[in-house]
Structure 1
Amino acid sequence: MSEHIRIGDIAPRVHYVADGVQTAFTYPFPIFEPGDLEVLTDNAPANYGFTVEGAGDSAGGTLRYADAPAPGTRITILRRLTIERVTDFQSNGVLRANTLNDELDRQVAALQEVRDDVQGAIRLSAAEAPSGMVLPLRAARAEKLLGFDATGDVMAYDRTGTIAAAFPGAVPRSVEDKLAETLTARDFGATGDGVSDDGPALQAAMNAAGAAGKHLVIGEGTYRTTMPLLLPGGAAGLTMHGTILYAGPGGLTALTIGDGGAVRNATKLYQGLRVIRATISDWMNFGDIGIVLRNLDSSVVEIRQVEGFTIGAQTLGVERGFEDSNVHLGRIVNNHIGLDIQTQTAAAWNTSIRYYGGHFAIASALHPTLSRYGIRFSAQPGAYVAHNRHVFFGPAFELQARDRPAIQGIPFLSLVNSRAVIVYGMRMEGCSPYPARHAGNAQDHVYEVAWASQGYLLEVLYDGTAARVGAVVRGMHQAAAHREFTREVGAVPSLRAAAFRWNASQTGFDQLACLSTNVSGNPTTLPDFALPGLEDYVLTNRGVVLPGGRGLGFVVDATRAREFALAVDADDPRLIVQCFDAGMGLLTDAGGQLVRASGMSMTWNATARWWQGSADMTDADLTRLQVVRLEPAVAYAIIGVARIGTDYEVRAMRLFCDPAVSPPLLYGLPDLRHGARELRAELAWDPPSIAAGASAQLNVPLAGARPGDFVQAAFTLSTSGVVFLAQIGAQDVVTVTAWNRSGAAVDLGAGTVRVRLVKS
């Protein structure tokens, strides 16, 4: 070397974790020769596959691999010098500086290695005086435990002796007692390798936990068993970090937890339960069950996974109740029935359980011709059948039954007389259009559906054996506000019955304004658009077909109410909203987005001068139920449907709002004449003296009166033999005739003629 190495104050080691790409790893400390480096990969020596660059450089160098180490490999680079003397100074010889410096450099480097090694060793604190920290002789320490005596010196203790935890007040006890504080399956020989039959070892561990009242832990791994397992009720609880793989006979329960009979298994903790069937059941044998939990009371259960059985998990009351517990549900898949809530005897009950979560799913190709259910309420013959007060929070069901009419894929199946079963926020993906099927006398069930791929048309399916009804389905998916708007503003339950002849060519409808997509002239106000009748409506036996250019809508005062829900029974209708200010003047899109809807965008139609939905109101698009929100600038609105793309039939229309407000529905008013088939008018009249058999006439103006309308007339004074008759004399005029049918002249006093017109 032309220049000696400078040994800086730097530790002679460096650590890396390989990423599978990096091939060059630097070492920041100097070495003399390439052989001075020691390399460990994953704590094992591996001095091959690389070249060393930078030997003799004070700043260190680079370790360069031909192939990048595998990702995650831990690489440690150390300096390890051979402890030997490499120079010898001769008496009266020349003392060369380089030789002396090299020798001192090696000594310093070796001392750095010693210091680095000492830092990882057990040693006394620098503040403590040296003492007798010497190991006992080999014979004295054999089969003993090392510890410290009262002075802190090293001592050897018998393994059968007692020890105490390092906390004040700790009770001395044996090592065996400490190790047995919590039982594990591996204490009894279970391997968890997924191949060995761990059934006998698992059962031995469960028996020991039950006998000793201990909590059993089944560690990580897959524990294959060819025999059913039973954890006695005497065990304090069970925690599973691994999986039980059941490869035993069919028709049996893979894991039973808790004692049967009249034993009460109270205040237990079972967590991480995970049982998988080695081969998926054919779903024919209902004795084929993954997990059975018996007679639990005030306990906490977490089922992490149960898969491949006829019944995934079962909560069971056996001569005693299963009650007042919390059950957390995880992945429950590929079971004919995911969770079975059952009683076995007349003395048992199953009530008051809180269930949290649960993903109930079926593979799309699994048993495609067989029905499947998420949660079942059942009872053995002669057992107690009132399963009450069960609450479910957020279960999700993917049962692969949609578009398979030959099978059922229903989240809840009640075969008993269950009551007060409440489900919050369930998800239905690919299920039948029924949140529940009731075959017994179930009552007071509430199913809240937060998502349903079938849309809104959900209902409970009642079997012929069901003698009770009363379940409620709350479909919240894209319709929460619509479901909650319970104040009815207007209702036309039958469009056909509401239709009347406005005049010889035009049709009107009770409560509704007739709408046109292109009103002639220069309309600017609400009365210009809310027409009492129009041509071209096609009446059917049940409703009316909207042809091109026609619509129907409710006219509402929106001064206080901002949101409305429109429900329509029609063939794919199109939502429209027309907006007006406080003076009933038309509002356009110049004021910005005045209308918003819950399930679609609202776009401005400049020809019709209204806002219309971007899609039809159909279940397939999940747009059937729409909530409309109006901006504060809108004081009056027409909310309804119109023909946009194709003709369609409308059969019923209803409008709702928040019960906090009760906005007026406007129709049949002097300035808004639409929506009323009955018209009235009155006029003061002092008839002349009418001779016997003679008559007198008066024309009463009545806007909207047309030939063919039914009309009646009355006078506010006693007529004394004079009969008042009415007829349409001309458009907008009712002619009233006072006919004296008596045998003498009659002179009536001054009064008021009242006219009533009804359109058929």
Structure 2
Amino acid sequence: MAEHIRIGDVAPRVQYVGDGARTDFTYPFPIFMAEEMEVRIDGIVLGSGYTVSGAGLSDGGTVTLPAAPAIGSTVTLRRRIKVERTTDFQDNGVLRARTLNDELDRMVAALQEQREELSSALRRDPADIGGEMTLPMRSARANRLLGFDSVGDIVVVPRDSGLLTAPFPGAVPHTVEDKLAETLTARDFGATGDGVTDDGPALQAAMNAAAASGKMLTIGEGSFRTQQPLTLPGAAAGLTMRGRIVYAGPGNQPALTIGDGGTTRNANKLHSGIAVTRATTSDWLSEGDIGVVLRNHDASLIEIREITGFTIGLRTLGDERGFEDTTLILGRFVNNKIGLDVHTLTAAAWNTSIRYYGGHFAVGSTVHTDKDRFGIRFSAEPGAYVAHNRHLFDGPNFELNARDIPATGIPFLMEVNSRAVVARAIRMEGCDPIVARHTAGAQDHLYEIAWASQGYAIEIEHTETATRLGGVVKAYHQALPNREATREVASVPSLRAAAIRWNGTETGFEKLACLSTNVSGSPTSLPQFAFPALDSYVLTSRGVILTGGRGLGFVVDTARCKDFALTVDADSPRLVVMAFDASWNLLTDAAGTMVMASGQSLAWNATARWWQGSADMDDAGLTRLQAIRLAPQVATAIIGVARITTDYEVRAMRLHCDPRQAPPLLYGLPDLRIGVRDLIAEQAWDPPSIAAGASAQINVTVAGARPGDFVQAAYSLSTSGCVFLAQIGAQDTVTVTAWNRSGAAVDLNAGTVRVRVVKA
């Protein structure tokens, strides 16, 4: 005989959280028939489609759904017995125990359901006795507020009654209307945040209300889907988001615009938690497809939590007025072609003096693998203001997944003449080995690499349209100890002391090549441009005055090292650089731009055959300190200064380079005899037998020797009483005399005569 069902003390309801895979859900309470099981998913009652097993069993059973509920969804199972009695006990009949048990079981089950429902209802505490808790009639309570009087009884009050007071000393009563109006929320205007409903009209109404009242708008938890672009006018105090906006509207326009355009100044704003995602990832073809546009903000604090799936994630925009002096806290920028775009719209606008903290710019490994992607871009509309100055980035992360695909992935793209952009503690993961691409006149940029999957071999890429050496890379990853040093290639601390009297009219300088602004003939090779000395240099008590047509430069091997810095103590010097290939052949502008400088443009001078600075190196023009970047094909260069417009005095010159390199300075070579005071030559000689008191002579060719130079001679073997004397009898010729001072003839063995000529 089957056991009769038992009704234990078990709540007639159970809940589960979906995991996306589970379809079977057990229930621990008994039901009499399968129809008495109510199934809800996220509060929605399922009418059919599921099966129930275990009806009539004391320990419950299992509900099987046709498909697994979504991850995070709520599955509710509860017993719902019809409260009815459609049968009677038979008069004067047999009263069976099973029949009584069935009736009593249903009564107990119904009481359990009532207790379950009452447990979630508003009710008095068991110790609270007496009082009036009955609601007034509908007509009496319509459009009024439910409250409690001084003894705790229910009472209805007008909506504008000033009965709400904060429980603190000094608090002032407020009406309910005023209290509710202190904060505006999107849900006040009907937004649901369920991710399905089109909340666009409700969100826009809420934003308009925030602007009309000058209040802060809160968009609470949830996913607020919109099929229309949204605008928060500048009159609103700000925006706080705890949920996110899901944009499902038309492309080629911003999903969310914050602030007014034109000449309006949106100052002292607070926007926090901004999160906007695109329902489907953009095709990255239209730059009008933007997640968030911030217009004309000034002295504001803005937090971006996440922007995902747009061509441009966030654009900070200077319109007819600028975007300036604002702090941005950056969160996640995912699957955007350009994460952040620093932009200006007109010539009257500007975008300057901004602080950025954090920022994770990432693109998925399978997203648009044929398209270039950038973390941060500086840009402008044609004809708009382009001097985007003083932007400070702290700790940005770039994970662009570009190293193994044809497309490019670079953290910074600089399309304007920006200055003083400093990015500290950059992390580069899966990027190209280029931290920034410069396409215009950007300069004074500092990119500090804290970590990179590429190691320390990271550079700035300058395209053919770039007109400035845009900045410097400090690659600390695996290179910090070396990076903190500056390597001096050459130093001439006193031009006056280094001056060489080459002959009666020509002057040279130690370590330096003398340069001419107009070399005669058709020179094509380095030795034809680098002279040991020239005329028309005027020496002073401290240096040398460069007069018309004259210059000075260091000749340096640049086969490996391409980055140099020239410092000069002079009145208003002009930078010049000559470029040569590995065979010392001159490289002209026909091969493209061979040289760039940091603080000014360089132009090709076809007459002098060098790259020449567009302005003097002076403090007033902020061009005193110049860094030079050479093209890869430049194997040797002359880096120095020349007289272009007016005569000026040069007192000291120094050349530095990237401390990772130690390039040789080329002077005094057998085939490049420049910058040396001492001239050395030697020649084999087998002197004849020299009688007592007699002498023998030999002429040694010494290129550059001039009458008036100091000269010395020596012999490679023992001289046995002979004295070797030297004099310059003719240009380039040193006459060496072996004088026998002994009292007997001397026959010296064959040896080598060595000559040293010292310029005064």
The 5 Å alignment of 1:356-755 reads 356-359=358-361, 361=363, 374-376=376-378, 378=380, 381=383, 383=385, 385=387, 387-396=389-398, 398=400, 411-427=412-428, 429=430, 431=432, 433=434, 435-437=436-438, 439-440=440-441, 442-448=443-449, 450-451=451-452, 456=457, 458-461=459-462, 466-467=467-468, 469=469, 471-476=471-476, 479-480=478-479, 483-484=482-483, 486=485, 721=722, 741-744=740-743
Q: Contact conserved, 1:194 with 1:245, CA < 8 A, in 2?
A: no
Deviations 1:25-80 (A, max 9, x none): 6554556x44794433345375885455463x6x4343465967756562424274
**Residue identity in the other structure for 1:122:** L
Structure 1 counterpart of 2:299: 297
What CA distance in whole angstroms lies between the structure 1 residues aligned with 2:159 and 2:463? 69
Residue in 1 that maps onto 2:265: 263
SS of equivalent to 2:145: strand
Indicate the residue corresponding to 2:209 in structure 1. Answer: 208
Q: Secondary structure at the match of 1:459?
A: strand
Cα deviation per residue 1:132-163 (whole Å; 9 max; x = unaligned)?
22222343233433222111111223344445
- Measured in 2, the distance between the counterparts of 1:49 and 1:284 equals 47
Q: Does 1:122 align with 2:122?
A: yes
Find the counterpart in structure 2 of residue 353 from structure 1: 355
1:247 counterpart residue number:
250
Q: Which residue of structure 2 lines up, in the alignment, with residue 78 of structure 1?
A: 79
Code of the aligned partner of 2:393: V
**1:305-316 alignment, distance < 5 Å:** 305=307, 308-309=310-311, 313-316=315-318
CA distance in 1, matches of 2:479, 2:211: 50
String of CA shifts for 1:492-541, please: whole Å, max 9, x gaps. xxxxxxxxxxxxxxxxxxxxxxxxxxxxxxxxxxxxxxxxxxxxxxxxxx
Q: Distance in 1 between matches of 2:371 and 2:174?
A: 62
Deviation at 1:182, TM superposition (A): 3.0
5+ unaligned residues in a row in structure 1: which ranges?
491-567, 571-650, 658-689, 695-710, 725-738, 747-755
SS at match of 2:227: strand
Change (3 A) 1:85 1:168: farther
List per-residue Cα deviations over 1:349-401 (Å, max 9, x = no partner): 61142242141659989696989783115587584836025224224163869
Between the aligned partners of 2:90 and 2:475, the Cα distance in structure 1 is 97
Describe the SS at the equivalent of 2:441: coil
Distance 1:693 1:62, change over 3 A: same
Alignment CA distance shift 1:165-1:193 (3 Å):
same
By how many angstroms is 1:413 displaced?
0.7
Q: C-alpha distance in 2, partners of 1:308/1:137?
A: 55
Measured at CA, do residues 183 and 75 of structure 1 come closer, stay the same or move farther in structure 2, by a change above 3 Å?
A: closer
The answer as to 2:174 corresponding to 1:177 is: no
The 3-state SS of whatever aligns with 1:424 is strand
Contact 2:292 2:313 in 1 (8 A): yes
Q: In 1, Cα distance between the equivalents of 2:27 and 2:248?
A: 49
| Corresponding position of 1:62 | 61
- Equivalent position of 1:235 in the other structure: 237
Q: Which whole-Å CA distance do the structure 2 matches of 1:20 and 1:284 have between them?
A: 36
Counterparts in 2 of 1:484 and 1:455: CA distance versus 1, 3 Å: closer
Whole-angstrom distance in 1 between the partners of 2:470 and 2:421: 11
Cα distance in structure 2, aligned partners of 1:306 and 1:48: 37
Question: Is the contact between residue 396 and residue 427 of structure 2 (CA under 8 Å) also seen in structure 1?
Answer: yes
Name the CA shift for 1:400/1:137 in 2 (closer, same or farther; >3 Å). Answer: same
| Greater CA drift, 6-15 or 437-446 | 6-15
Q: What is the 5 A alignment of 1:50-199?
A: 50=51, 52-53=53-54, 55=56, 59-63=58-62, 65=64, 70=69, 72=73, 74-78=75-79, 80=81, 82=83, 111-164=111-164, 167-168=167-168, 171-185=172-186, 187=188
**Aligned pair in 2 of structure 1 residues 484, 11: CA closer, same or farther (>3 Å)?**
same
Indicate the SS of the match to 1:124: coil
Q: Which amino acid aligns with 2:244?
A: H
Deviation digits for residues 224-246 of structure 1 (CA, Å, limit 9, x no counterpart): 226x7452144333537213455
Opposite residue 233 of structure 2, the aligned amino acid is: L
1:348–1:159 distance in 2 versus 1, CA, 3 Å: same
Q: 1:3 and 1:282 mapped to 2: Cα distance?
A: 69
CA–CA separation in structure 1 for the residues paired with 2:96 and 2:196: 70
Aligned-residue offset at 1:320: 5.1
Report the Cα distance in structure 2 between the residues aligned to 1:82 and 1:284, rounded to whole angstroms: 63
Q: Does the 8 Å CA contact 1:194/1:224 hold for their aligned counterparts?
A: no
* Distance change in 2, residues 1:402/1:258 (3 Å): farther
- State the TM-score, normalizing by the size of structure 1: 0.53
How big is each residue's C-alpha offset from its partner over 1:94-143, in whole Å with a ceiling of 9 and x where there is no partner? 99887777776666555545444433332221222233222223432334
Following superposition, the deviation at residue 215 of structure 1 comes to: 1.5
* Per-residue deviation, 1:179: 3.7
Give me the whole-angstrom Cα distance separating, in 1, the residues matched to 2:394 and 2:97: 86
1:331 to 330, 333, 354: 333
Q: Output the CA distance in 2 between the equivalents of 1:655 and 1:306.
A: 39
Q: Which residue of 1 aligns with 2:38?
A: 39
SS in structure 2 at match of 1:435? strand
The answer as to whether partners of 1:410 and 1:437 remain within 8 angstroms in 2 is no
Q: Name the TM-score, length of structure 2 as normaliser.
A: 0.53
Identity of aligned residues (%): 27
CA gap 1:480/1:15 in 2 versus in 1, 3 angstroms: same
Aligned partner of 1:78: which letter?
Answer: R
Alpha-carbon shift at residue 212 of structure 1 (Å): 1.4
Measured in 2, the distance between the counterparts of 1:185 and 1:95 equals 64
Higher deviation after alignment, 138-147 or 96-105? 96-105
- Answer whether contact 1:390 1:422 (CA < 8 A) is retained: yes
Structure 2 partner of 1:707: none
Q: Tell me which residue corresponds to 2:681.
A: none
1:462: Cα distance to partner?
A: 6.4
Tell me, in whole angstroms, the C-alpha distance in 1 between the residues paired with 2:290 and 2:23: 55
CA distance in 2, matches of 1:713, 1:132: 129
- The equivalent residue for 1:223 is 226
User: What SS does structure 1 have at the residue aligned with 2:361?
Assistant: strand
Question: Helix, strand or coil for the counterpart of 1:225?
Answer: coil
Distance between the aligned counterparts of 1:347 and 1:375, measured in 2?
17
Code of the aligned partner of 1:459: I
Q: How many angstroms apart in 2 are the aligned matches of 1:257 and 1:41?
A: 44
How far 1:323 moved relative to its partner?
A: 1.0
Looking at structure 1, the residues matched to 202 and 65 of structure 2 have their Cα atoms a distance apart, in angstroms, of 48
1:579-602 CA distances to partner (integer Å, 9 max, x unpaired)? xxxxxxxxxxxxxxxxxxxxxxxx
Contact 2:291/2:307, CA 8 A, preserved across alignment: no
Listed one character per residue, the Cα deviations across residues 692-731 of structure 1 (whole Å, up to 9, x for unaligned) are 699xxxxxxxxxxxxxxxx98699xx9864679xxxxxxx
Q: Is contact 1:437-1:463 (8 Å) kept? A: no
In 2, the alpha carbon distance for the partners of 1:98 and 1:347 equals 89
Counterparts in 2 of 1:316-327, with a 5 A limit? 316=318, 318-319=320-321, 322-327=324-329
